[in-house]
Amino acid sequence: MPTMIPTFLLKKLYVQGSFKNTERGFQLALRNTLAPGTLIGVGAIQLDGRDIPRDQIVIQVDEGAPVRASDISFDAPRLFPLNATVTFRVDDQPLAPGAHRVNISVNTKEAGELKIDAEDSIE
């Protein structure tokens, strides 16, 4: 089901400044400022045009238990409450300093597929 949420609102879900290098790669975050939702799928993250497989992505909603993106499904959903933050930890190479473009695709029970496109920098 295609989403009816305007692109400019979806862009606001991305937490500007959330790119951070970690011991195992990097992380970024989305904050739900729209409405309570239920994640029933997470697509690959695309970073600077390169796909990162779902099995390299671990997500955590606020202080909840971390789960592999590939394990989220209609039968194993994750709640995404209003004002909650979802952190995406990516097992990959650290990000080089400078600007990067990220595309994130998540599937929600309530609104279907949401495609978030953002640009952010890492120092």
Q: What is the pLDDT of residues 65-121, one digit of tens each?
A: 999 999 999 999 999 999 999 999 999 999 999 999 999 999 999 988 999 999 999
The reply to whether 26 falls in a domain is yes
Taking 3-state DSSP, the helix, strand and coil percentages for the chain, each rounded to the nearest 5, stand at: 10, 50, 40
Domain that holds residue 58: 7-122
Q: Residue 2: exposed, middle, or buried by beta-carbon count in 10 A (0-12, 13-18, 19+)?
A: exposed
What distance in Å separates the CA atoms of residue 24 and residue 42, rounded to the nearest whole number? Answer: 20
The reply to whether 2 falls in a domain is no
CATH of the domain at 110: 2.60.40
Q: What is the pLDDT of residues 42-55, one digit of tens each?
A: 987 999 999 999 99
Predicted model pTM: 0.91
Q: What is the pLDDT of residues 84-93, one digit of tens each?
A: 999 999 999 9
Q: Is 97 helix (H, G, I), strand (E, B) or coil?
A: coil
The reply to whether 67 falls in a domain is yes
Number of structural domains the chain divides into: 1
Q: What is the pLDDT of residue 18?
A: 94
- Contacts of 37 by beta carbon, 8 Å cutoff, 6+ apart: 79, 80, 81, 108, 109, 110, 111
The half-sphere exposure of 111 on its side-chain side, counting CA atoms within 13 A, is 18
The reply to whether 78 falls in a domain is yes
Q: What is the pLDDT of residue 51?
A: 94
Residue type, 104: I
Q: Is 7 helix (H, G, I), strand (E, B) or coil?
A: helix
The reply to whether 49 falls in a domain is yes
